[in-house]
Structure 1
Amino acid sequence: MPATRRALAHRIAVGQSEGRTPSLVGAVVRDGRLVWTGSSSMIEGHAPDADTQYRIGSLTKTFVAVLVLRLRDEGLLALGDPLARHLPPSVDVDEAVGALTIGQLLSHTSGLASETPGPWWERTPGELRPEVADLLGPAPVKHRAGSRYHYSNPGFALLGAVVERLRGRPWDDVLRAEVLEPLGMRRTTPLPRAPAAGGFAVHPWADVMRPETVVETGRMAPAGQLWSTAEDLARWAAFLAAGDERVLAPATVEAIRLPAAPPEATDPDGGYGLGLQLWQRDGRSLAGHTGSMPGFLAALWVSVEDGVGALALANCTSGPAVSEIAADLLAITAAAEPGFPTPWRPADALDPAVLDLAGIWHWGTTPFALRLRSGGELRLGPLNGAGRGSQFHVEHGGTWTGREGYFAGETLRAVRREDGSVSHLDLGSFVFTREPYDAAAPLPGGFPGWPDR
């Protein structure tokens, strides 16, 4: 609506002005499609559009993560595999590095160093680090693997090397064929293609600026090399929210958005999945990534619950808080034009044996309600709203698997008597009965039943 468009345009204008960046582009995605783009520039009448390329820095990592998860889904590797199993035989890495797992590298819990040994890889040609082993200095593992979140750029360079080993060709060629082309992202490339924004460094205390030099980062490219546009990244936001069977199944994309690393004490609202940053902001769960390279800043966030994604791109080394700007664009849209829920419709058909499970069940003396959803899913939760509950996904064989909370991954099954009637529900050894402490059902501790009155 006009008021929403103005609020979005105003946020971009304020971000460009207060952030002192030559230009700023923003975009909003709703329900899988681009619904708004806007920009602001230091040159009136020459603002960039949604087809202008910007360097996206560490947003590149989200693409590499998808390539790795494709290999996992094809059975070519497992997240628990040690890195050494999938590196080329010619690559000589420290034994401690080789023992790090693929999943630890994806979630930045490997303990690997944050950066390469000097000089700084973002500002120097990749030719200075011609081999994978050149990305790691002496004693490159800084923390015990799996013990904490510690962001590692070389870790994703190593994952790029794994992709190249298992696919037999450069990682960016694999990316183009397996991800970019299927999603129609033809303006996402390792090197800039016109029209592309130039990157600048803006003096922190004076309104002057100078161009930044663009370098090819070589072996470090999987950590931050890519260039892209607002239009292409809108497609990427839609993919990160819902998946696409041509690239990754929705269930796999859902899994990479789950926390795989705990937040740091200094950033309690943060977190990391498998190649995705997580952010709890104003009661909203966001997944995406930020990025920076000399001359450029980028951020992309999606809120699956709202069905909204947003991004912001700037062409300066520092200044505008693009992460906040992208999150604000998302929040403005979700608040001003909240999405409509899916209309309720009755199930086409329900198995009478499953319908018989609906209603009140008791765990000890605590009443729970079990509700049946169209599509065969169940919802089991305490009637007073406090306590353990979960959504359950239907499985083959007459069982259900928990999708969230305490019961995530646990199996729910109905235990029947010889006559086919339901005796009780078993949920990971928790017994739920129709009556509180039903004496006829197996109960932990063998409760004898209620006294007669």
Structure 2
Amino acid sequence: MTTSQGELLPATRRALLHRIAVAQAEGRAPSLVAAVVRDGTTVWTGARTSVDGHAPDENVQYRIGSITKIFTAVLVLRLRDEGALDLGDPLEKHLPGTGVGEATVAELLAHTGGLAAETPGPWWERSPGSLRPELADVLGERPLLTPPGRRFHYSNPGYAMLGALVEKLRGAPWEDVLRREVLEPLGLHRTSTRPQAPHAGGWAVHPWADVMLPEPTEDLGRMAPAGQLWSTTGDLARFAVFLVNGDERVLSAESLREMRTPAAPHEAADVASGYAYCLGMEIRRRNGRSLVGHTGSLPGFLACLMISVEDDVAAIALANSTSGPLLFSVVADLVRIVAEAEPRIPAPWKPLGEADPSLLELTGQWYWGTHAFALRLTADGLVSLGPLAPAGRRSRFRPNGDGTWTGLEGYYADELLKAVRRPDGSVSHLDLGSFVFTRQPYEEGAPVPGGVDPEGWRGIS
């Protein structure tokens, strides 16, 4: 018996339901709702207990906290792609007078701008945004804890600065820009800055008794770009598909790949745990796979969206409790259950329609020093260069249209690969960021840096 890619087997569906049922019961969440996306389609949704007297579904809103930061980062990358700013620009260039203007846009996106984690004054998540009407109220008297670029330090005020940057360059409120440029084009009609029925209420569950207390729902004001949004599993499932595939009306797949690339220096603890921060997204290691997305929390709510790009599986979980279920663990397990129980079926291999003879000539074995590499031409129009040994530096390269290629990942990301030809047109060697690859190890007559001993290879008597 076989199933289509859009269906899950009954055993898989039961395992997913069991996982969220355990999380809701042991975490004592008033309600928990989840969804799984595979191959660009929502293939499973599940919920436990009720909201307004019925089981929550994919259209019930929950507050998503810091998942909002991904949306803000998308707006910033849109400005970059349009040429309105550069990620290396200091904030002062576009938004003068903040007191943190030496931090660059990229550093703010990656939480390496040196800003404090939270705002001064009352707990901003449980107090009205009207208490912080100006950016100075968000930053306080000591906005920089360390020099920008020195280390990763998660900063909610940093994203308030990015929201203000969007407002300055667009000449409109962050909320309006977000709705016009992201939510409406992607069809995220149930994502909003304020709750829209049906929505869950936020609750605090007593740590030592099975009783609850309602949490206040505050408008975060200037801090909105860091955590204001409400959304649903249905909308976040569509958003997860966008974060992998892109949408030219909003942001290209290439820019989203950049957003998913680590951009912050690793702390020792982060290396041990497999954690890294990118441009508005987190990468976490769990169950032997990399998951990219974001967690979120505000008083009364927990949220998590994570994607395994390699497995093409994403999962979302939302709960209406201040603490309780560890939603990252839940989401990581939902991805694992699907990826392991029903592994991704690869697309059929298909040959190239037509191969450029000059490119075909470059395929095969090459040597960097004595290290053996293979260059391959693939049906997707890319070339790959990787060691014949199990480990080593490898990358795919996209053509630039001028006989050169640019690396897409790993050590060779953004490096230039080119074939260097002799005056007669024959290929002398490959040049990859000054590394010389030859057809034979230390090939005689090739421009190998340091030269080749004229006596050649020899044994030792």
Report the TM range for the smaller structure's normalisation: over 0.9
Distance in 1 of aligned mates of 2:33 and 2:184: 23
**CA deviation after TM superposition for structure 1 residue 360, in Å:** 1.2
**CA deviation after TM superposition for structure 1 residue 93, in Å:** 2.2
Work out which of the residue numbers 99, 123, 127 in structure 1 matches 2:102.
99
**CA deviation after TM superposition for structure 1 residue 275, in Å:** 0.4
2:241 counterpart residue number: 238
**CA deviation after TM superposition for structure 1 residue 18, in Å:** 0.4
Deviates more, 1:257-266 or 1:232-241: 257-266
Deviations 1:7-61, CA, capped at 9 Å, x for gaps: 1111111111000010000000111121111000168972111100000001111
Distance in 1 of aligned mates of 2:62 and 2:266: 29
Deviations 1:137-166, CA, capped at 9 Å, x for gaps: 122111121111100001001110111111
Provide closer, same or farther for how the CA distance between residues 161 and 63 of structure 1 changes in structure 2, counting only shifts above 3 A.
Answer: same
The 3-state SS of whatever aligns with 2:314 is: strand
Distance in 1 of aligned mates of 2:257 and 2:124: 32
Distance in 1 of aligned mates of 2:442 and 2:379: 30
1:121 aligns with 2:120: no
Work out which of the residue numbers 229, 232, 237 in structure 1 matches 2:232.
229
Letter in 1 for 2:348: P
| 8 Å Cα contact 1:54/1:229 also seen in 2 | yes
RMSD of aligned alpha carbons:
1.5
1:202 aligns with 2:194: no
Deviations 1:235-281, CA, capped at 9 Å, x for gaps: 11111122111110000000000000133333331111000011111
**CA deviation after TM superposition for structure 1 residue 385, in Å:** 2.5
Provide closer, same or farther for how the CA distance between residues 45 and 226 of structure 1 changes in structure 2, counting only shifts above 3 A.
Answer: closer
Distance in 1 of aligned mates of 2:52 and 2:188: 29
**CA deviation after TM superposition for structure 1 residue 442, in Å:** 0.8
Give every structure 1 segment of 4 or more consecutive aligned residues whose post-TM-superposition deviation is greater than 4 Å. 42-45
Distance in 2 of aligned mates of 1:361 and 1:392: 16
1:73 aligns with 2:81: yes
Deviations 1:210-253, CA, capped at 9 Å, x for gaps: 11111111111111110001100101111112211111000000
**CA deviation after TM superposition for structure 1 residue 435, in Å:** 1.7
Letter in 1 for 2:150: S
1:369 counterpart residue number: 374
Distance in 1 of aligned mates of 2:222 and 2:183: 21
Deviations 1:360-407, CA, capped at 9 Å, x for gaps: 111222221111112331111221223222211111210111222222
Instruction: Count residues with an aligned counterpart.
Output: 448
The 3-state SS of whatever aligns with 1:267 is: helix
**CA deviation after TM superposition for structure 1 residue 452, in Å:** 8.6
Distance in 1 of aligned mates of 2:10 and 2:53: 21
Distance in 1 of aligned mates of 2:398 and 2:363: 15
1:442 counterpart residue number: 447
Distance in 1 of aligned mates of 2:150 and 2:93: 22
Provide closer, same or farther for how the CA distance between residues 200 and 451 of structure 1 changes in structure 2, counting only shifts above 3 A.
Answer: closer
Provide closer, same or farther for how the CA distance between residues 134 and 33 of structure 1 changes in structure 2, counting only shifts above 3 A.
Answer: same
Distance in 1 of aligned mates of 2:432 and 2:218: 56
2:331 counterpart residue number: 326
Deviations 1:63-96, CA, capped at 9 Å, x for gaps: 0000010001000011111112222x6xx422xx
Q: Percent identity?
A: 63
| 8 Å Cα contact 1:264/1:270 also seen in 2 | no
1:35 counterpart residue number: 43
Letter in 1 for 2:44: W
Q: TM-score, normalised by structure 2?
A: 0.94
**CA deviation after TM superposition for structure 1 residue 98, in Å:** 1.3
Distance in 2 of aligned mates of 1:265 and 1:439: 45
